[in-house]
Amino acid sequence: MTPALEFGLDTFGDVTTGPDGVLLSHAAVIRDVVAEGVLADEVGVDFFGIGEHHREDFAVSTPEMVLAAIAARTSRIKLGSAVTVLSSDDPVRVFQRFATLDAVAKGRAEIILGRGSFTESFPLFGFELDQYQTLFEEKLDLFAELIARKAVTWSGTTRASLTDQRVFPPIETGTLKTWVGVGGSPESVVRAARYELPMMLAIIGGDPLRFKPYVELYNRAFSQMGRPVQPIGVHSPGYVADSDAQAREELWPDFKRMRERIGAERGWGPMNRAEFDQEADRGSLYVGSPETVARKIANTVKALGVSRFQLKYSAGSLSHDRLMRSIELYGMKVVPLVRELLA
């Protein structure tokens, strides 16, 4: 086992139900996410990530604001996005916001950049979907310049050019750790390697081992450049409870509703219990007791050679108290068990 192995938790700030079964307000959910991040720190989790969304079923549109609140109440855990939709934002402003978070967190900020699996932010901020590819490529190119130099000279077609421009505030020490989120295309893998940025694989369905060719491609790209390979991480959904049966029964109803709500927008059919159990047994859904989840994570880490595993622990309207228990079990039982299995 590599000593650098890290364990993270991710949430999209899914709008949850309260004790009365009624959906909470977005403001209440945001406050709960802060409490979840603080607990993650207390139970020894290495990283806490929050995703950016611009739709009714997710409460967080500016992860860095919520992460700053968590930073003020923690001292150890790394804090970052999961992901930041760079395509529909301005790279300079994104850098400034995360540099500010890094200052508050005393060097603990990270960012995962991606194109996002939802498109609501494009019309919201005035971007055309037919520029989907160009927007991300150009803005990632600029962001790579921002994290690498004190003064930036850059030109492109999606924003104003910069000439010997300094951007404030600067990162206090070192650089802002920047990952590229990859959903499973070879082009995305090569792009991350070209900028020498760590790669976060979003494995949200199917056998995790199907991503092994992408890991090999990433490693091969660095070998060809004669450069040391950067870290690779995995982001996958899951839920931990005291037993396998409890975990599946608690997660299933909310996971199904979330999956079918999103699936209806994308032309997917209804999800049945057999499909859910298949993902839990042999796919990329890490659900069960601490022992079961730990074995599955250990197998993925070993097979793909990753240095970080991030569990997306929120699932639709699954309640805050259940999420807190899952976080507690993940930090206090799952993580030590995985380390033991890989020792």
Q: How does pLDDT run along the chain (343 residues), one tens digit per residue?
A: 444 899 999 999 999 999 999 999 999 999 999 999 999 999 999 999 999 999 999 999 999 999 999 999 999 999 999 999 999 999 999 999 999 999 999 999 999 999 878 999 999 999 999 999 999 999 999 999 999 988 999 999 999 999 999 999 999 998 999 999 999 899 999 999 999 999 999 999 999 999 999 999 999 999 999 999 999 999 999 999 999 999 999 999 999 999 999 999 999 999 999 999 999 999 999 999 999 999 999 999 999 999 999 999 999 999 999 999 999 999 999 999 999 999 9
What SS3 string covers 50-66? ECCCCCCCECCCCHHHH
- Cα–Cα distance for residue pair 234/199, rounded to 1 Å: 9
- pLDDT at position 102: 98
Contact (CB, 8 A) for 106 and 68: no
- pLDDT at position 1: 40
- pLDDT at position 150: 83
- Cα–Cα distance for residue pair 20/13, rounded to 1 Å: 19
Give the HSE-up count for residue 199: Cα atoms under 13 Å, Cβ half-sphere.
Answer: 32
